[in-house]
Structure 1
């Protein structure tokens, strides 16, 4: 499948995987720019590793999708749902200025999914 994939799809998917992986790593290393807002939004600390794991799984799924397209599609959908949940969490916490951040991470997953269809 990878040989049949367009360069655009491959690059957008790789960017989506990198961004999701970066976001996961930021949670795992407890980067202040990630964990302080999580605490502000009321997300329990016990969830943080699970949230990081979900993003890491999405990133890995996008990479596996180069070879097994269904996995990549499911990973993109999962990441889109994850970041949509993040937007909802931010809106519920009334931290409106933070809404663009998960949208930036969601955008390449949406683009990768759209380009594969």
Structure 2
């Protein structure tokens, strides 16, 4: 695995970990956003755990590339869902937030696949 791939996986993992901690801590602004976009508060812990699993999977992908690919793919799907949720609720001004994570997860996925040679 090259430095760019490893750095991207680490940055994505750290950003996703920060988002997971915010969910698991049930920060007021996170709960307010969930209310704003019609997501039940009961989902916050499961969603935070999904982010946590994705972040840990990306870090594990440094040693086990298939795990990193699976984690990145899962995070891409997760953040596509987040973007769709905001779009459905017409929260276009806030699309940059899940969009940022989606770009990071997508870059991690592409680079992790390329690093294994599976992208040929």
TM-score w.r.t. length of structure 1: 0.92
Match of 1:55 in 2: 51
Q: Secondary structure at the match of 1:67?
A: coil
Deviation at 1:35, TM superposition (A): 2.0
Measure, in 2, the Cα distance between the counterparts of 1:32 and 1:14: 27
Match of 2:118 in 1: none
Match of 1:87 in 2: 83
Question: Which deviations, in whole Å up to 9, do the C-alpha atoms of 1:45-75 show, x marking residues without a partner?
Answer: 1111000000000000001111111111000
* Structure 1 unaligned residues grouped into runs of 5+: none
Deviation at 1:30, TM superposition (A): 1.8
Q: Does 1:30 align with 2:32?
A: no
Structure-to-structure mapping, 1:1-117, within 5 angstroms: 5-116=1-112, 117=114
Measure, in 1, the Cα distance between the counterparts of 2:9 and 2:82: 21
Q: Secondary structure at the match of 2:39?
A: coil
Measure, in 1, the Cα distance between the counterparts of 2:105 and 2:87: 21
Deviation at 1:88, TM superposition (A): 0.6
Measure, in 1, the Cα distance between the counterparts of 2:76 and 2:92: 19
Measure, in 2, the Cα distance between the counterparts of 1:29 and 1:54: 14
Q: How many residues are matched?
A: 113
Moved more, 104-113 or 60-69: 104-113
Runs of 4+ in 1 over 6 A off after TM superposition: none
TM-score w.r.t. length of structure 2: 0.90
